[in-house]
Structure 1
Amino acid sequence: MYSTACVVSAGRAVLEMIQYDWEPLSHGELEQRLDHAVEEILEADLIEKARAQAGPTYLPQPEPPQHIQQSTLSPQPQQLELPQLSQESQQFQESSNAQENIAVQYITDLLQNSDSSYNRSRLTGRARLSLPHTVILSLTLLCNRLSYRSVSSRFRVEKGNIHRIFFSFCERVNALADQQIRWPTGQDGEENLQSSSFLAKTESSEQTGIPKVFGILGRTRIPIRLPIGKQQVEGGVLEVKKMKKEVHPDSWLNVELVCNSQGKILHCRISKGSDTDKASALKEKLKQNPHMLPEGSCLVAGSGYPLSGQILTPYPTCCGTRENLYNQALEAHLDVFDQVVAELKARFQRLKYLDMGNFTRAHAVVLTACILHNVFLEMGARESVSVKPQREEREKEEGEEEEEGVRKREAIAELLYREIEAGQLKCD
């Protein structure tokens, strides 16, 4: 049993390596594709002759042969149904098509000057698509949960090429990460603080000393296929039942994000599910580079994240009005983070489950979605995604606490309480 399991695992590994580099059409698929191409050529030639016989006066054209009617006139039923649509439906459809065309053109312009070693290493003789068609094909895969086979049939491109074209697109988009996902500093950092007061009901945080929120820190999970070789063999028997009950940590990706109040992603870190780190690198970076946060500002995060002078987390237990008011203020910002994650997963449906066991490729797809999220936001297309946010899983345990963070949290809670006593705020 042990040797059989090893052979099966090795076979799957070899198959995935072959699919990663090349997946040709089968003999049957190749014959079908060639027959279809020949039929299209013959049909086009017959139609051209029929049009020539009709003359320049555009008299009623003779009906083509029956086999041509079935293939060339198949769109007619759809065309006949279009006039029956309401005016509002037609306007909505035209608006949607216009938005899609604008998005494709916008992304194409961004990628026009990008450099990709993936494209340069492609094998000779492989089918290539123009950049706009590459963008359309890749967005179709990313925004819908479609198989490579169905997309291959829709775009008439070999399945193996679909795989390569999509990851070529992801690599080219990933090259824009530093340009599209960047931490605002200087004047950009000051502008990022607009409409981001710690408590929305506070009219003047500068006068009260209550800090502004520079960004919201949080994490979400993206499920992926369990990588090959992660099956545990014990006593010569593959523990399939145990694997079904226990979720393997490498069956998802951790996506650590920092977003601002407008939903833009300022920071993105993608790691394996077995990585239990909670923004320790970001915390140290903020501590060593104070200029990253404008004076009088901070990040907010949920429980489980480190509490420091730059990152504020909620009280683990609420024992009074001060703690409750402070936690309510943080929860309002954490709801903004949940909304951003919900929009990200709603726009890019493939993130609901990445059917790939390779961490590098899964990382590239998730990063592509995060980059394009900012691109669409820059285009003003956030309104096109309407989704009810689902609260991300909150950690129950308290994260690491630093003395500076404890003092700052206590001071803010006291300031909020004084605002209530002064009658400037109302406690919900």
Structure 2
Amino acid sequence: MDVSEHVISAGRAVLDMVEREWQPLSSGELDQRLDQAVDEILEADLMAKLQTQPPPTSAVFVQLLQSQARVGTHVVHTNTTASSVPEEETAESQEGLETGDSAVVKYITELLQSSKSRARLAGRARLSLSHTILLSLTLLTERVSYRSVSRRFRLEKGNIHRIFFSFCERINMLEEKLIRWPVGKEAVEALFQFYNPETKKEDEEQSVPQVLGVLGHTQIPLRLPIGKHDVESTAPEVKRMKKEAHPDSWVNLELVCDQKGRFLHCRVSKGSDMDRGSALRDKLKQNPELMPSGSCLVARAGYPLTAQILTPYTTTHGTREEMYNKMLEEHFQILDQAIAKLRARFQRLRYLDIGNYDRARAVVLTTCVLHNVFLDMGHVVLGEVEKEEATTQETEGEVDEEGARRRDTISDLLFKNFNSESV
């Protein structure tokens, strides 16, 4: 790297730091502060009056929040499709969406207030927790810039930056509470069938496992850290990243989801981290009580094959292996759909314009925690499975003898059952 490239990188670092940590207030922003102070006084007065009256409906509550924040209508889409709501939507259906928005704000507010950390969310200007949640959901669910959100919420851009990442940090603290590995009775209730064989009951009990979850991963595109850009390249950022495949231009997201698509395990790592499930494998071996008796996880090729984690055959030699692989592929679609829903709801995951890994990790983990929150509330969106998520062209991961024997036993039973049904 020559002197000019060093200068450019240093300049980017300084600009990034200035934008994050210091933002001078213009006359317009000072006016915004004054307006916001008046809003807070009016809001406090309004809330005092409401305490002496019957509680408002959730739709009215959302309208109050939106009028106090002086923002346009912002709806977190909770319908069962990924398509946008048409402009000619009826007032009745719009009211339903506002009710859902209110429920989301209220639910997340209660989660944050009940968390161990009660520190005030960061931000130069005071902002109510409800407004903070609406602002942060806007940044997560829409492909909008800080500048656009600044105009919408009438806050300076630098302040929004700090408020958003402070919100992510607080949500991250809920990871253990909301992304939990089921144990005991909860784990047994989460099990689902590997397949439904027409075998004798004693054979079924001895050989056919039940599935606790599906293990897999996806990659989130990330802006290259300062100093690792090709300053002479004119190709668009995302296309150049995919072509060059720089390891630090991606964030790895390893997940385990249950049959309903709820995340039971989440691990975020740098793109250069090539570990593929080995940490989880070791944890399961050291803590066998985490897996109910006779249960397993299923994962695509590339993950370790153990007695607890079953993977496909990378080389098939006949119907037996092919049937087994086909059965596993049906389970992999559960994780593919969960990832598609995650991306469809949180549009910011399409490309994280963040050059800092720790902050990128915080954003990704926030979306995973909120994914479970939305599922718990019954809010579902559908997303299109990307081809990259469904790929099976992987080499065999680490194989232990017990895992290989168990895989062969299950594939033999599958083949045996198939032949008995054919007779």
The equivalent of 1:269 in structure 2 is 267
Distance 1:198 1:405, change over 3 A: same
**In 1, Cα distance between the equivalents of 2:119 and 2:7?**
31
Question: Is the 1:222–1:351 contact (alpha carbons within 8 Å) kept by the matching residues of 2?
Answer: yes
SS in 1 for 2:386: coil
Q: How does 1:74-153 map to 2 (within 5 A)?
A: 89-116=90-117, 119=120, 122=122, 126-153=124-151
Q: Deviations over 1:177-219 (max 9, x none)?
A: 00001111111111111xx111156697844621011110000
Q: CA deviation at 1:114?
A: 2.5
The percentage of aligned residue pairs carrying the same residue is 53
The equivalent of 1:81 in structure 2 is none
The equivalent of 1:390 in structure 2 is 386
Q: How does 1:79-228 map to 2 (within 5 A)?
A: 89-116=90-117, 119=120, 122=122, 126-193=124-191, 196-200=192-196, 206-207=204-205, 209-228=207-226
**In 1, Cα distance between the equivalents of 2:190 and 2:254?**
20
Q: How does 1:26-41 map to 2 (within 5 A)?
A: 26=26, 29-30=28-29
**In 1, Cα distance between the equivalents of 2:409 and 2:115?**
48
Question: Is the 2:220–2:349 contact (alpha carbons within 8 Å) kept by the matching residues of 1?
Answer: yes
Q: Deviations over 1:215-265 (max 9, x none)?
A: 100000000100012247xxxxx6647994412110110000000111110
Question: Is the 1:118–1:168 contact (alpha carbons within 8 Å) kept by the matching residues of 2?
Answer: no
Distance 1:200 1:12, change over 3 A: farther
Question: Is the 1:213–1:297 contact (alpha carbons within 8 Å) kept by the matching residues of 2?
Answer: yes
The equivalent of 1:319 in structure 2 is 317
The equivalent of 2:20 in structure 1 is 20
**In 2, Cα distance between the equivalents of 1:175 and 1:319?**
48
Distance 1:200 1:161, change over 3 A: farther
Distance 1:349 1:16, change over 3 A: same
Structure 1 letter corresponding to 2:334:
V
Q: Deviations over 1:40-94 (max 9, x none)?
A: 99xxxxxxxxxxxxxxxxxxxxxxxxxxxxxxxxx9xxxxxxxxx97x7222211
Q: CA deviation at 1:419?
A: 1.3
Q: CA deviation at 1:277?
A: 0.7
Q: CA deviation at 1:386?
A: 2.2
Gaps of 5+ in 2: 40-71, 73-86
* TM-score normalized with structure 2 length: 0.80
**In 2, Cα distance between the equivalents of 1:228 and 1:340?**
32
Question: Is the 2:211–2:295 contact (alpha carbons within 8 Å) kept by the matching residues of 1?
Answer: yes
Distance 1:172 1:327, change over 3 A: same
Q: CA deviation at 1:113?
A: 2.7
**In 1, Cα distance between the equivalents of 2:190 and 2:337?**
18
Question: Is the 2:252–2:269 contact (alpha carbons within 8 Å) kept by the matching residues of 1?
Answer: yes
**In 1, Cα distance between the equivalents of 2:317 and 2:154?**
64
Structure 2 letter corresponding to 1:330:
L
Q: CA deviation at 1:148?
A: 0.6
**In 1, Cα distance between the equivalents of 2:234 and 2:136?**
36
The equivalent of 2:69 in structure 1 is none
* TM-score normalized with structure 1 length: 0.79
SS in 1 for 2:147: helix
Q: CA deviation at 1:131?
A: 0.6
Question: Is the 1:108–1:131 contact (alpha carbons within 8 Å) kept by the matching residues of 2?
Answer: yes
**In 2, Cα distance between the equivalents of 1:209 and 1:311?**
15
1:341 aligns with 2:343: no
Larger Rg: 1
Question: Is the 2:23–2:158 contact (alpha carbons within 8 Å) kept by the matching residues of 1?
Answer: yes
Q: How does 1:366-405 map to 2 (within 5 A)?
A: 366-382=364-380, 385-391=381-387, 392=389, 393-405=391-403
1:359 aligns with 2:357: yes
Question: Is the 2:29–2:156 contact (alpha carbons within 8 Å) kept by the matching residues of 1?
Answer: no
